[in-house]
Structure formats: C-alpha cells, structure tokens
Amino acid sequence: MTGGLLGALAGLVAQLRNVGIPVSPTEHIDAAAALRHTPVADRAAVKVALAATLVKNAEHLRTFSTIFDLYFADRQRDAVDGDTTDQAGGPVDGLAGAGAGPGGGVLAQLTDQELSELLRQALRDNDSTLLRAIAGLLVDRHAGIEPGRRVAGTYYLYRALQAVNLPAVLGKLREELGGAQPSVAGRIRGLDADARVEAFRAEVEQEIRARLVADRGVDDVARTLRTPLPEDIDFLNATRADTAAIREVLKPLARKLATRLARKRRAHRSAPLDFRQTMRRAMSTGGTPVDLAYRRPHPSRPELVVLADISGSVATFASFTLQLVYALRSEFARVRTFAFVDGLEEVTSLLEKADDLLEVTRALNRGTSAVWIYGRSDYGHALTVFRRRYLDQVHRRTTVLVLGDARSNFLSPRDESLAAVAERARAVYWLNPERRELWNEGDSIIDRYGRHCTGVYECRNVRQLRAFVENLDG
Amino acid sequence: MSSSDPAQEGAFASADEVAAMLRRVGYLPDAAIAGVVHLGERLGKPVLVEGPAGTGKTELAKSVAAATGRRLIRLQCYEGLDEAKALYEWDYRKQLLRLQARDESGKDWAQIEGDLFGEDFLLTRPLLAAIRAKDPVVLLIDEVDRLDIETEALLLEVLSDYQVSIPELGTLKATTVPLVYLTSNNSRDLSEALKRRCLFLHLDYPSVDREREIVLSRVPGIREDLAEQITRVVAALRGLDLKKHPSVSETLDWARALLLLGAEEIDEATLRDTLNVLLKYTGDITKAAAKLADLAK
C-alpha cells in the first residue's frame, strides 16, 4: 500500500473526528486493513470499504461522503484539470482546464444560452460525461474563484449556477420527462427530473471543491467546509436544508427514546408481593413458596404540560421539541400543549391532527389568541393567563415544560405566576435554545424565571434536546 | 485472519465475484452490499446490517449462506434473551441422572465432578453452536437491537475473537471462522463496543433501477414498463412523510396484485383501488392518495 493512500486516510480520519464522528484507533486500523483487500484504483470500492469500517451510524454517512470526496479526489476529474494546475503552479487557469475535458473545445465556444439548452438535453439523456464537462465549464466561466480566499464555496456555487437558470431548466425537464403522458406514472417519472438536477448541482459543487483543494490544500478546505452533523446544527440558525436534516434525525430518535423510556418503566421492579398468587403457586411445591409472584407494577406516568413560545425567533426550536414530545406521547398519561406569543392558547387538539408542526405554528402566528396585542413575546402576560385559566389543571403528577428564550422585550416579567405554577407541579423545566453565554444579556431574563424552575437547560441542538428527554422520565 | 479453506478463498476473490454469487441465488446486491460482504470475509469481521424494515437484511444473510453452501445458524434476539438461550446451558437433568448413577460406577467424587462439567453435559445454543461447528457456517444474529443493553455484552467475545469462555471448561475457540451477520432495525443505539467490532452496512430502500430489477426477477411475467412505473410510484411514496413506508416485499406484493388484475398501466383508478397493498395505515393511504392526485393534475 502506498504511503499517499495511508496519508489520505489519516487526513480523512482526523477530519471525521473534527466534525464529531467518533473514529477509534481500532477502526482506523481496520480501514487500512480493508484497503489491502480493495482495488485501490476503484474509487467507489474504496469509498465502500472506508464507509464500512469508519462510520457506524447511518446519519453520519452523508457527512462522511462529503469529506471522503475531498480527501480521495476523483482521478478522472483530476485528469481533466490536474495538469493545468501543475503548469500554472497555483490558481486554476479556467478555460484551458475545460478545454482539456471531453468535448471541451466545442463547448467553450457556446454562449450561456446555448449552454443552458445543452444542459437540458444532457440532463434528459442522463449523459454524465457531458454533464461533467458542462459543470467544469460553468465553474470556469462564472464562479470567479479567487485564489487564497478562505470561503466554503457556497457563494461560488451560487454564481456558477446562476448563469444557466437552473429552475427554468428543471421546469422544462419535468415536462419533457413525464408531462406529455396523462398517466399518474408519467408524472411520477417527471419527478426524476428533480433528482437529476440535484445530482448536477452536486457535480458543480464538487467541481468547485476540487478547484479549491488545488488552490489551498485539502485540510484547509475541509476546515472551512463546515459540515456539522445533523444533531449539532443550531436550531436558531438552521437553514431550510438544515431543518430537513434535523427532521430526519428526529424521527428515528423519537422511536429510540420511546423504546428506551418504555423499557425503563418495565424494568422498574418495585412492585409489592402478590401474597395470594404466591400461596396458590406454593400448592404445587408442597406449600413451600418457591416461586414468588409480584403484583403488576403500576408505574405512574407523568402528565406533561408544554408551554411553547412560538414567536418567529424560536418557532423552529419549539416545533422540533413538540415533534419529539408528541412522538413520545404514549409514554405520558397526557400531553397538553399551550402556544403563546403574548397571549396564550391551548393547541393540544390542533397538534394531534396536524402532521407538520412547523405549519401549525405558522398558522397560529397568523391569527389566534396566542397573539394578543404586539405579536412579540410577552412571557409575563402569557404566564399570567396560564395561571388564571389553567392553574387548577396542574397537580402533583404534572411536569411543566417551558420552551423559549426568555426574551421578554423589556415587558414586565410577572414571575410570580410561574412561581405559583411551580408550587403545584411536580417539576418545571425550562428549555432555552440560546447559547448559554447570551443568557441574561439584553432583554433575556432567564435567571429570573429560572429561580422558580426545577431545572433550566440549554437546548441548542438535537444532541442537547435528546439528553434532556432521556432523563425527563426518571 | 482470512479463512484457510482454498475453496472459500476462491469464492470471495473480489467484490464482483461476491455479487455474481449472490445473483446466482436470486439476491441482487448493489456495489456497497457486495463490497462489505467481501470485506467481512476477508477481514474476518462480523457485518452489522442496519436499515428500515423490509429492505432485505435477513435475506442477505440467508443468501450468503445459500451462495457459499454454508450452514445457517440463526439467533433471533428478543427482550429478555439470556446467556442460557444464546450461548450455552448445562443440562442439569442429565447431570442429576449422572449423580444418581454414581453408586454403580464406584468412581470417586473428583472424577464425577469432572464428568459433570464435561462437554457431554453442555447444551449448545446458537452462538456456541456456531463456534463449535466443524463445517463452515453463517451465523445470523437477527434484530440485535431488541437485546437489552446488558445482554449485548454477551456477544462481544464471540464477535471479536470467535471464542466462548465457559468457567468450568475453559475457552472454546472456533475451528472455522464463521461469517457473522447482525441485523438491526435501529430501534435503539447499539453500544460503541459492539459497533466497533463490526463492519457497518446501511441498507436503505433500493434505488429505482435496482428495485425494478428485483421486481422483474421475483415477479415472473411482468412487463418491463409496468415494473418501471411500479418502482417509480413506490419511490415517490417513500419520499412522502408517512408513518410506514412501503417495503420491498410490499412492492413485490403490489406488482403481483397488478399482474393478477391485468393492469396495463397505473392510472388513478388502479392506484386508488390497490394502494392498501402498499400502505397499511388509513392516515397514510389518505395522505398518499391526496399527494398522488395532486401529481395527476
């Protein structure tokens, strides 16, 4: 095995650890051993071998794939623009690189308009060679990569794709692939268009990364890549793509937590002796009680009351937390949810029917009594309304969960309402999606409320949310 | 740590070879599956297969057994599975009989005690059976995520060293290294220790092309374009946010149903009438029907 390959492997492992994928030394060794049995020239085979040995969690596979592509660059791609890089000794000389690619000579003469047309045809015929050439050309012409600048490349991607008007191409492609046929299946075939365009976008992205790597070196690019694992994405800064990624990890997580909580409850063996049953069993052993019988354990399931701030700034956080709580609802005797901004409204039945909680919160924000006057969070008023209307529903077995950043917009905190709730409830937990350093800065009055809570937790990402829910039961 | 049997060496020469072997027994692997199966044998490591229900995890282990002509030993995991059912147990009835027969034999106690805990009195359970097998075997540990976390530790010695330690007998080592496959539905996180000892294979729903191939090979007599439509619809359904996505076996059921009904093409009416073959929740059916009707507009 060549030293270069082992070096690349070491870089890959270091970078995986860097983004939070745990790779033990044993696994590193296994990966090296696996490469001995893998045709090293076959990039796909190498990827399979490394994925199987280094990544043991399906949710990490996508991140692995991105980093792998950096460290084990596509040989074919290198052949296209590698030599020009060497000659120039630094930044990639654009058009010459594409000229060396397949069909590049003719391609380079096309206008953007014609290129867009060609792209559509290539996508329709699924011609990967041509697609790759077009991707290369687009990056050369429009991305305008500046050597030495330390950026992640999304900006370049945007610039490169703008020229060919991808949405329009997608629309036409959809029609072409399936629209003419009247059948359902025909239209479903049209859906394939989305996948192909997405693949092309990935192709361009990879092309850009290849150039960046040539310019700055692998490790540097990997550092600026910022590929957080889905469980580490900050709720408050989540983009739409992030939200989708988070939702994907949340589903299996809810299932796992439910299994765990159910098991924990069943394992709880402190039930009293069932004397009658024991004596009856003793009959078969001559009156000696050998086999003891216990009463069925009767664990009390807690009731859960969730107070969720659904104002714009923290809505995503609330919706994810609620999604998790609702997936676990069989583990609680009852779950009631109240949404508030400056007013307060029970949304339990709404949430039970809806399938997308984010939709619900948006609908709520548009017009219900959750919004009272301003449309900005007023914790004081919301808590007071809760106390006045629902305090008698809170009792010894109720756990109250407050979701929000405790930013009161400098309105009166009225924390005595929370104190009154806390006095009746079994426990009050406050989950704050803001980073701890920002607590109590500006209009944040988390400490003032925190005094009355059983616990206040920072809940910025799925990892922290999970840690909290795991311990909620016990 | 590869197997020393020359026949086996030849069988697992490359990932392509593995793929061809699996195809011969009717399992259509993709590159990742063939690659990991190949590596598992080469490195002498267990393969942990994880993925949603109905993607052919158990089938993979069975097919590997069939393709290599190895015997399949299966351990079905469930909550409360213990050492006595997974590893070994002393046959205490037989031991009692031996004790009662003591007087006639006239042996002294030390000798009898030695006898009592000899291999004759050992009841082998799947894990030990796989270790002690004289012939090459495939060991399938099915739904390992159903084990209690504490019980998971039972597997570790078997998985990493292919041996079982029995206090009264010492350590029993495997004579031939078994091919081990563990399957998991990911209903809980497996321990790091277990994962570290395994190669990881994530089996997701197959790609449209591969699923079409599966339909064509498993449902004889189906037309190619119908199979294409079927797999596209199923793929679209898997893209929706449903309680339970259609599995590969449900795709096959649907294909058979459409074949029986003599459907030429999937139109709205057929879809409406047969969606319940694919989806098993009323909520899912309503939602999917609405989404598919949107598409038809």
Whether residue A184 lies within 8 A of chain B, CB to CB, comes out as yes
Say yes or no for a CB contact (<8 Å) between B202 and A58: yes
pLDDT above 50 (res A86)? no
* C-alpha–C-alpha distance, residues A217 and A214, integer Å: 6
Q: Which residue of A has its CA nearest to B45?
A: A30
Percent of chain A with pLDDT over 70: 78
Q: Are residues A325 and A356 in the same domain?
A: yes
- Residue after which a domain boundary falls, among B202, B236, B260: B202
Q: Are residues A60 and A83 in the same domain?
A: no
Residue B214 lies in a domain: yes
Residue type at position B134:
K
The confidence score (pLDDT) of residue B295 equals: 61
Whether residue A241 lies within 8 A of chain B, CB to CB, comes out as no
On chain B, the residues whose CB falls within 8 A of the CB of A255 are 187
pLDDT above 50 (res A81)? no
Whether residue B38 lies within 8 A of chain A, CB to CB, comes out as yes
**Residue A66 confidence class, pLDDT cut points 50, 70, 90:** confident
Residue corresponding to tokens 């914790």: A379
Say yes or no for a CB contact (<8 Å) between A49 and B295: no
Say yes or no for a CB contact (<8 Å) between A184 and B42: no
Q: Are residues B184 and B212 in the same domain?
A: no
* pLDDT (mean) for B163-177: 87
Say yes or no for a CB contact (<8 Å) between A191 and B236: yes
Q: Are residues B46 and B159 in the same domain?
A: yes
Q: What does the pLDDT look like over A303-316, one tens digit per residue?
A: 888 888 887 777 77
Could you give the residue ranges of the DSSP H alpha helices within B240-281?
248-261, 268-278
Q: Are residues A10 and A126 in the same domain?
A: no
Q: Which residue of A has its CA nearest to B13?
A: A37
Sheet containing strand A303-309, strands side by side? A344-346, A334-340, A303-309, A398-403, A427-432, A455-458
* C-alpha–C-alpha distance, residues A469 and A455, integer Å: 13
Average pLDDT, chain A: 77
Say if CB A465 and CB A321 are below 8 A apart: yes
The confidence score (pLDDT) of residue B7 equals: 42
Residue A243 lies in a domain: no
Q: Are residues A321 and A466 in the same domain?
A: yes
Residue corresponding to tokens 């994925």: A51
* Beta-bridge partners for A307: A338, A402
Residue B216 lies in a domain: yes
- The range of the structural domain enclosing residue B115 comes to 88-124
Residue A319 lies in a domain: yes
Residue B118 lies in a domain: yes
CA distance to partner chain A, nearest, from residue B119 (Å): 30
Q: Which of A37, A39, A55 sits opposite B200 (nearest CB)?
A: A55
* pLDDT (mean) for A68-91: 51
* Beta-bridge partners for B180: B139
Q: Which of B188, B205, B275 to mutate to test the interface with A (most CBs of A within 10 A)?
A: B188
The confidence score (pLDDT) of residue A7 equals: 86
On chain A, the residues whose CB falls within 8 A of the CB of B215 are none
Whether residue B152 lies within 8 A of chain A, CB to CB, comes out as no
Say yes or no for a CB contact (<8 Å) between B229 and A185: yes
The confidence score (pLDDT) of residue B19 equals: 92
> Could you tell me which residue, B202 or A326, shows the higher pLDDT?
B202
CA distance to partner chain B, nearest, from residue A3 (Å): 21
Whether residue A185 lies within 8 A of chain B, CB to CB, comes out as yes
Residue A283 lies in a domain: no
> Which range, A269-273, A445-449, B288-292, is most confident?
A445-449
* pLDDT (mean) for B271-291: 84
> Could you tell me which residue, B13 or A145, shows the higher pLDDT?
B13
Q: Are residues A342 and A427 in the same domain?
A: yes
Say yes or no for a CB contact (<8 Å) between A52 and B195: no
pLDDT above 80 (res B35)? yes
Q: What does the pLDDT look like over B43-84, one tens digit per residue?
A: 999 999 998 888 889 999 999 999 999 999 999 998 888 888
> Could you tell me which residue, A248 or B35, shows the higher pLDDT?
B35
- Residue after which a domain boundary falls, among A196, A227, A258: A227
Q: Are residues B262 and B234 in the same domain?
A: yes
- Residue after which a domain boundary falls, among A21, A45, A71: A71
Q: Are residues B51 and B197 in the same domain?
A: yes
Q: Which of A51, A184, A355 sits opposite B241 (nearest CB)?
A: A355
Residue A249 lies in a domain: no
Q: What does the pLDDT look like over A187-222, one tens digit per residue?
A: 666 667 777 888 888 888 878 877 777 777 777 776
CATH code of the domain containing A442: 3.40.50.410
Q: A88: which residues sit within 8 A by CB, 6+ positions away?
A: none
pLDDT above 70 (res A89)? no
ipTM of the complex: 0.85
Whether residue A162 lies within 8 A of chain B, CB to CB, comes out as no
* C-alpha–C-alpha distance, residues A11 and A23, integer Å: 12
| CA-to-CA dists, residue A437 to A134, A434, A444, A446, A459, angstroms | 47, 8, 11, 12, 13
Q: Are residues B76 and B94 in the same domain?
A: no
* C-alpha–C-alpha distance, residues A274 and A255, integer Å: 34
* C-alpha–C-alpha distance, residues A65 and A295, integer Å: 53
Whether residue B146 lies within 8 A of chain A, CB to CB, comes out as no
The confidence score (pLDDT) of residue A53 equals: 94
Q: Are residues A81 and A207 in the same domain?
A: yes
Q: Are residues A86 and A206 in the same domain?
A: yes
Count CB pairs under 8 A between chains A and B.
107
**Residue A51 confidence class, pLDDT cut points 50, 70, 90:** very high
- Residue after which a domain boundary falls, among B202, B223, B245: B202
Residue A293 lies in a domain: no
Whether residue B56 lies within 8 A of chain A, CB to CB, comes out as no
> Which range, A305-309, A379-383, B135-139, B170-174, is most confident?
B135-139
> Could you tell me which residue, B209 or A237, shows the higher pLDDT?
B209
CATH code of the domain containing B186: 3.40.50.300
Q: What is the dihedral of CA A83, A85, A88, A94, to 10 degrees?
A: 100
**Residue B5 confidence class, pLDDT cut points 50, 70, 90:** very low
Q: Which of A188, A269, A323 to mutate to test the interface with B (most CBs of B within 10 A)?
A: A188
Say yes or no for a CB contact (<8 Å) between B232 and A185: yes
CA distance to partner chain A, nearest, from residue B230 (Å): 8
Joined together, the tokens standing for residue B194 give 């277990």
* pLDDT (mean) for B223-241: 85
- Residue after which a domain boundary falls, among B171, B202, B233: B202
On chain B, the residues whose CB falls within 8 A of the CB of A53 are 39, 199-200
Of residues A96, A106, A211, the one with CA closest to residue A149: A211
The confidence score (pLDDT) of residue B181 equals: 95
**Residue A160 confidence class, pLDDT cut points 50, 70, 90:** confident
Whether residue A256 lies within 8 A of chain B, CB to CB, comes out as yes
The confidence score (pLDDT) of residue A281 equals: 86
> Could you tell me which residue, A412 or A255, shows the higher pLDDT?
A412
Say yes or no for a CB contact (<8 Å) between B188 and A53: no
Structural domains counted in chain B: 3
**Residue A278 confidence class, pLDDT cut points 50, 70, 90:** confident
Say if CB A281 and CB A289 are below 8 A apart: yes
pLDDT above 70 (res A85)? no
Residue B1 lies in a domain: no
CA distance to partner chain A, nearest, from residue B105 (Å): 32
Structural domains counted in chain A: 3
Of residues A286, A309, A324, A434, the one with CA closest to residue A364: A309
* C-alpha–C-alpha distance, residues B134 and B178, integer Å: 10
Residue A209 lies in a domain: yes
Percent of chain B with pLDDT over 90: 33
> Coil, helix or strand for B72?
strand
Q: Are residues B193 and B233 in the same domain?
A: no
Whether residue A46 lies within 8 A of chain B, CB to CB, comes out as no
* C-alpha–C-alpha distance, residues A430 and A313, integer Å: 17
Q: Are residues A452 and A329 in the same domain?
A: yes
- The range of the structural domain enclosing residue A57 comes to 3-71
* pLDDT (mean) for A154-167: 76
Q: Are residues A176 and A59 in the same domain?
A: no
Residue A425 lies in a domain: yes
* pLDDT (mean) for B256-271: 85
Q: Are residues B55 and B166 in the same domain?
A: yes
CA distance to partner chain A, nearest, from residue B187 (Å): 5
Say yes or no for a CB contact (<8 Å) between B36 and A187: no
pLDDT above 90 (res A301)? no
Q: How many CB atoms lie within 10 A of CB A415?
A: 19
- Residue after which a domain boundary falls, among A71, A95, A114: A71
Window 177-236 of B: residues touching A by CB (8 A cutoff) are 186-189, 192, 195-196, 198-202, 204, 208, 228-229, 232-233, 235-236
* C-alpha–C-alpha distance, residues A147 and A338, integer Å: 53
Q: Are residues B96 and B236 in the same domain?
A: no
Whether residue B290 lies within 8 A of chain A, CB to CB, comes out as no
Q: Which helix (H) or strand (E) holds B201?
A: strand B199-202
> Could you tell me which residue, A419 or A214, shows the higher pLDDT?
A419
Whether residue B46 lies within 8 A of chain A, CB to CB, comes out as no
> Could you tell me which residue, A168 or A373, shows the higher pLDDT?
A168
Whether residue B267 lies within 8 A of chain A, CB to CB, comes out as yes
Predicted TM-score of the model (pTM): 0.74
Say yes or no for a CB contact (<8 Å) between A30 and B45: yes
Q: Are residues B11 and B69 in the same domain?
A: yes
Q: Are residues A46 and A96 in the same domain?
A: no
Say if CB A261 and CB A331 are below 8 A apart: yes
On chain A, the residues whose CB falls within 8 A of the CB of B296 are 184, 187
Q: Which of A24, A37, A189 to mutate to test the interface with B (most CBs of B within 10 A)?
A: A37
Whether residue B98 lies within 8 A of chain A, CB to CB, comes out as no
Q: Which residue of B has its CA nearest to A183?
A: B267
Q: What does the pLDDT look like over A336-349, one tens digit per residue?
A: 888 888 778 887 87
Q: Are residues B26 and B168 in the same domain?
A: yes
Q: Are residues A148 and A38 in the same domain?
A: no
Residue A258 lies in a domain: no
* pLDDT (mean) for A105-116: 75
Q: What does the pLDDT look like over A372-416, one tens digit per residue?
A: 555 677 888 888 889 998 888 888 888 888 888 888 888 888 888
Q: Are residues A60 and A88 in the same domain?
A: no
* C-alpha–C-alpha distance, residues B213 and A17, integer Å: 38
Q: What does the pLDDT look like over A97-110, one tens digit per residue?
A: 333 444 446 677 77
Q: Are residues B11 and B148 in the same domain?
A: yes
CA distance to partner chain A, nearest, from residue B169 (Å): 30
The confidence score (pLDDT) of residue A269 equals: 57
Q: Are residues B150 and B233 in the same domain?
A: no
